[in-house]
C-alpha cells in the first residue's frame, strides 16, 4: 500500500506539473497572439490601402528636347550566405570579373575581396551598386551566382525613380533639383504641376514581405505629373554657357552669368550662372542671373540718359565738359577710364555715352536735377526698374535705388547714381530695360516656361506679359538705339564690331564694394541686342572679380562673350552655295561650335561643292563634308553630342548618350538602313 501511495503521489505531481506547464504555454500563446494582433493591426497590416507613386512630369526645352525626366533605376545586392559552398567557391571570381566589366568602378580583385569577406562574415546583405540602369540590370542577371535568382543565388534588387538630366550640366541650376528640402529652379517653382498626385490601392502582404494588389472599390488612381515646356533652347544654352565658361577660365574670375532672351516676347532662351569651386572648377551653385543684386556701373547710364533726354532740356548734341578726365563733386573725385591720358575734354552728350564718360553723364544729370534729386529718382522708378519682375523662379533679388529720404543720402549720391552706383540691380532687371529699347519701348516680362501639358491636354499656356507699353517716347527710343550702335561701331565696344554681324550694346566696368569701401576688384559687364536694325535677341553678360592683371574692363572681359554668342547664332543660318556651273543654290546644315571656326566653315562651303543633304564636320583643324541619306545611318565619329543629336533627331531617331566628350562609337554601323523611332546609342570619348 505504501508503494502504491508513493506511485500515486508521483503521478499526481507529474500530472500537476504538466497541467501547469500547459496552462503557462497557453497563457503565453494568448499573450503572443494578442501582441502580434496589435502589431499587425497598427503597424504591419496583412491587408491595407497603400500609396502608389505617380511618375513625375518631364521638363522640355522649347524644341521638345528632354531636359529632365524620371528614369527607373535599381540598387543591386547579394545575400552571400544563400549560395551553396560549391556554387560560391567556383563562381565568385567570375562574378567579380563580370561586375567590374559592367560598371568599371572597382577592379575584379576588389569585387572578389568584397564578396569573399561578406561570405566569411556571414553577411546577409551586401550592396553591390546603386543607380543601375535597366540595360545594366539585364546584364547583371546573366552573371554567375546571380543568375540563380534570389533563393539559390541570393540576388536582390530594388527599383526606384531617379531624376535624370540628359544634357548633364547644361542649364543645371535653371532646371533645378528634386531634392527634399533644397529644391530650386523649375523643379521647385513648378513642383505642384510636376509631381502629380499619388494613388491608393488595397494590397495584401504575402510571404517574403511582398505586397500583392487586390481589387477594391476604394482604390484611387494616381494622377501623373504634368510636363513643363520651358522657353530654353538647349542648343543656345550650350553656346552661351560654353562661351561664359571659356571666359571665366581665361580671366580666372570668381563667377559670371549670362542671359539670352527673345526681344519681342521676353522668352529666355539661355540662362547660366557659374561660380568657381574649391577645386578651381566652375559649377552652377547659385543663379546670379536673377538672384543677386549689385551695383551695375556704366550699363545703368542708359537709364540716366533716357531720363535726361525725356526731360526735353538736353539732346545728344548738348556739349558737356569732361575736363581732363577728373572732376570733383563736393568732397569726392570722379574719374573717367582714360583720365591718365588727359580725358575727353568738351564732347557732345551722345559721344559721352559712346565712350562711357562717367563725368559726362554725371554732370548732365546734376545740371538737370541738382535742386530736385527726388524727381530724377521718381523718373527712374517710372521706368519700372525699381520693382521686382515677379519672375517665375524663386529667389529673385529685389532692386534698390537710393531714395532722397534715405539716411545715407549725400551730396554725391545723385552723380554716383547716374552712372550706376548707390543702387542695386540684378542682371535680369538690366536686361529687361535694354530689351525694352530693342523692342521699340515696350517692356515685356521675362519668362521661362512656355506651357504646361498633361498628355495632350493643355493646362497652361504663356502669353506675352507687357509690363509697360512704352517706357519713353519713340524719338528717345530711336536716339538710344542709334547711340547703342555707336558704342559698338565707334565707342568702348568697337572691339566686337563686325561688318557681317550687326549688334548694339553698352559696356560696364564697376568697382566692387567691400566692407564699406571700394577696393581693386571689379565687375565687368556687357548688355545689348542683335541684329541692330531688327533686334531678335537681347543678351547680358556679367563677369565678377576677374584677375585684374589679366583684364577687368567690360569691353575686354564681358563683351567677347556676347560677340561669341552673336556670331555663333548668326553662323547657324544656312549658307547658300552655288554649284560649279552657276546653277541653282543649295543649302547645307552645319553648326560651328568654335568661335574661330565660323569663318573657316564659310570659307570651306564657298570653295567646295556641297550637296543639299550634306553637313559640315570639323576634322582636327580642317573641315570635311559628311553626306546624310534619309534612310541610312551616317558616320558620326568625332562629332560633338549636340551636332550628333541634331543630325539623328532630324532623321527621326531616338538617341541615348553614354559618357562625355565627342562621339567615339555608335550602335548602328555606318550605312545601315534605319527606321523612324529606332534607338541609337552613342558612346562618347
User: Which CATH number does the domain housing residue 192 bear?
Assistant: 3.90.1310.10
Are 148 and 203 within one domain? no
pLDDT of 582 above 70 = no
End-of-domain residue from the set 211, 228, 245: 228
pLDDT of 181 above 90 = no
Are 559 and 580 within one domain? no
pLDDT of 615 above 60 = no
Residue that has been written with the C-alpha cell 557659374 in this structure:
274
Structural domain including 158 reads 71-163
Are 204 and 310 within one domain? no
- 140, three cell numbers: 547583371
Q: Over range 216-236, report the average pLDDT.
A: 84
Are 539 and 391 within one domain? yes
Q: 360, 373, 361, 365: which is closest to 411 by C-alpha?
A: 373
- 423, three cell numbers: 543702387
Are 153 and 190 within one domain? no
Are 209 and 292 within one domain? no
Are 509 and 590 within one domain? no
Are 491 and 518 within one domain? yes
Give CA–CA dist 191/222, Å, rounded: 16
CATH of the domain at 584: 3.30.10.20
Are 634 and 539 within one domain? no
Residues 319-375 have pLDDT tens digits of 999 999 999 999 899 999 887 788 899 999 999 999 999 999 999 999 999 999 999
Beta bridge partners of 184: 177
Classify residue 620 as left (phi > 0), alpha (psi -120 to 50) or beta: left
For the CA atoms of 138, 144, 145, 151, what is the dihedral angle to 10 degrees?
40
Residue 122 lies in a domain: yes
End-of-domain residue from the set 138, 163, 188: 163
Residue 343 lies in a domain: yes
- Whole-model pTM: value is 0.75
Residues 402-447 have pLDDT tens digits of 999 999 999 999 999 999 999 999 999 999 999 999 999 999 999 9
| Whether 259 contacts 271, CB under 8 Å | yes
End-of-domain residue from the set 112, 134, 163: 163
Are 145 and 248 within one domain? no
Are 498 and 608 within one domain? no
pLDDT of 606 above 70 = no
* Backbone φ and ψ of 470, nearest 5°: -155, 125
Residue that has been written with the C-alpha cell 517574403 in this structure:
208
Residue 16 lies in a domain: no
Transcribe 329-380 into DSSP letters. Answer: ETTEEEE-TTGGGT---EEEHHHHHHTT-HHHHHHHHHHHHTT-HHHHHHHH
Are 659 and 529 within one domain? no
Residue 208 lies in a domain: yes
CATH of the domain at 413: 3.40.710.10
**Number of structural domains found in the chain:** 4
Residue 640 lies in a domain: yes
In this prediction, residue 635 carries a pLDDT of: 83
Residue 209 lies in a domain: yes
Residues 635-654 have pLDDT tens digits of 888 777 777 777 787 777 88
Amino acid at each position: 500500500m505504501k508503494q502504491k501511495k508513493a506511485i500515486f503521489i508521483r503521478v499526481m505531481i507529474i500530472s500537476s506539473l504538466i497541467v501547469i506547464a500547459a496552462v503557462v504555454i497557453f497563457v503565453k500563446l494568448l499573450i503572443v497572439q494578442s501582441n502580434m494582433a496589435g502589431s499587425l493591426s497598427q503597424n504591419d497590416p496583412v491587408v491595407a490601402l497603400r500609396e502608389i507613386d505617380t511618375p513625375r512630369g518631364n521638363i522640355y526645352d522649347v524644341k521638345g528636347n528632354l531636359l529632365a525626366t524620371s528614369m527607373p533605376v535599381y540598387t543591386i545586392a547579394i545575400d552571400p550566405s544563400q549560395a551553396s559552398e560549391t556554387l560560391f567557391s567556383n563562381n565568385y571570381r567570375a562574378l567579380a570579373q563580370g561586375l567590374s566589366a559592367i560598371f568599371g568602378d572597382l577592379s575584379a580583385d576588389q569585387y572578389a575581396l568584397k564578396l569573399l569577406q561578406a561570405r566569411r562574415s556571414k553577411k546577409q546583405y551586401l550592396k553591390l551598386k546603386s543607380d543601375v540602369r535597366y540595360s545594366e540590370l539585364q546584364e547583371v542577371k546573366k552573371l554567375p551566382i546571380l543568375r540563380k535568382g534570389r533563393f539559390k543565388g541570393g540576388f536582390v534588387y530594388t527599383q526606384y525613380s531617379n531624376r535624370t538630366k540628359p544634357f548633364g550640366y547644361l542649364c543645371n541650376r535653371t532646371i533645378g533639383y528634386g531634392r527634399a528640402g533644397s529644391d530650386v529652379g523649375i523643379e521647385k517653382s513648378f513642383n505642384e504641376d510636376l509631381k502629380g498626385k499619388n494613388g491608393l490601392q488595397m494590397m495584401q502582404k504575402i510571404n517574403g514581405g511582398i505586397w500583392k494588389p487586390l481589387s477594391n472599390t476604394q482604390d484611387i488612381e494616381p494622377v501623373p505629373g504634368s510636363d513643363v515646356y520651358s522657353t530654353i533652347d538647349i542648343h543656345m544654352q550650350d553656346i552661351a554657357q560654353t562661351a561664359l565658361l571659356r571666359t571665366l577660365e581665361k580671366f580666372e574670375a570668381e563667377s559670371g552669368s549670362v542671359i539670352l532672351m527673345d526681344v519681342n516676347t521676353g522668352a529666355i532662351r539661355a540662362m547660366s550662372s557659374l561660380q568657381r569651386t574649391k577645386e578651381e572648377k566652375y559649377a552652377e551653385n547659385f543663379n546670379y542671373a536673377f538672384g543677386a543684386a549689385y551695383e551695375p556701373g556704366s550699363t545703368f547710364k542708359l537709364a540716366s540718359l533716357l531720363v535726361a533726354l525725356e526731360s526735353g532740356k538736353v539732346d545728344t548734341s548738348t556739349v558737356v565738359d569732361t575736363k581732363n578726365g577728373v572732376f570733383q563733386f563736393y568732397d569726392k573725385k570722379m574719374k573717367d577710364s582714360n583720365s591718365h591720358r588727359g580725358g575727353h575734354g568738351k564732347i557732345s552728350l551722345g559721344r559721352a555715352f559712346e565712350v562711357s564718360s562717367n563725368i559726362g553723364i554725371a554732370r548732365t544729370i546734376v545740371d538737370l536735377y541738382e535742386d530736385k534729386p527726388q524727381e530724377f529718382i521718381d523718373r527712374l522708378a517710372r521706368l519700372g526698374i525699381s520693382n521686382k519682375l515677379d519672375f517665375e523662379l524663386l529667389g529673385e533679388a529685389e532692386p534698390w535705388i537710393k531714395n532722397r529720404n534715405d539716411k545715407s543720402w549725400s551730396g554725391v549720391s545723385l552723380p554716383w547714381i547716374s552712372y550706376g552706383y548707390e543702387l542695386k540691380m540684378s542682371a535680369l532687371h538690366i536686361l529687361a530695360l535694354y530689351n525694352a529699347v530693342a523692342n521699340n519701348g515696350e517692356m515685356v516680362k521675362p519668362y521661362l516656361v512656355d506651357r504646361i501639358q498633361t498628355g495632350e491636354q493643355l493646362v497652361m499656356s504663356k502669353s506675352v506679359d507687357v509690363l509697360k507699353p512704352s517706357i519713353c517716347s519713340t524719338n528717345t527710343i530711336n536716339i538710344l538705339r542709334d547711340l547703342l550702335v555707336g558704342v559698338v561701331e565707334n565707342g568702348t565696344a568697337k572691339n566686337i564690331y563686325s561688318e557681317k554681324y550687326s549688334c548694339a550694346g553698352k559696356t560696364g566696368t564697376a568697382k566692387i564694394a567691400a566692407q564699406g569701401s571700394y577696393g581693386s576688384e571689379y565687375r565687368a559687364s556687357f548688355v545689348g541686342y542683335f541684329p541692330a536694325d531688327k533686334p531678335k535677341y537681347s543678351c547680358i553678360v556679367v563677369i565678377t572679380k576677374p584677375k585684374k592683371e589679366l583684364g577687368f574692363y567690360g569691353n575686354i572681359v564681358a563683351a567677347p562673350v556676347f560677340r561669341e554668342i552673336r556670331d555663333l547664332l548668326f553662323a547657324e543660318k544656312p549658307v547658300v552655295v552655288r554649284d560649279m556651273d552657276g546653277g541653282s543654290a543649295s543649302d547645307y546644315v552645319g553648326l560651328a561650335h568654335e568661335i574661330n571656326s565660323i569663318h573657316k566653315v564659310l570659307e570651306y562651303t564657298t570653295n567646295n561643292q556641297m550637296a543639299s543633304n550634306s553637313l559640315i564636320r570639323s576634322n582636327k583643324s580642317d573641315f570635311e563634308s559628311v553626306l546624310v541619306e534619309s534612310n541610312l545611318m551616317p558616320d558620326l565619329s568625332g562629332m560633338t553630342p549636340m551636332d550628333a543629336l541634331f543630325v539623328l533627331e532630324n532623321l527621326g531617331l531616338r538617341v541615348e548618350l553614354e559618357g562625355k566628350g565627342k562621339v567615339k562609337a555608335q550602335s548602328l554601323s555606318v550605312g545601315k538602313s534605319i527606321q523612324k523611332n529606332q534607338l541609337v546609342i552613342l558612346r562618347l570619348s
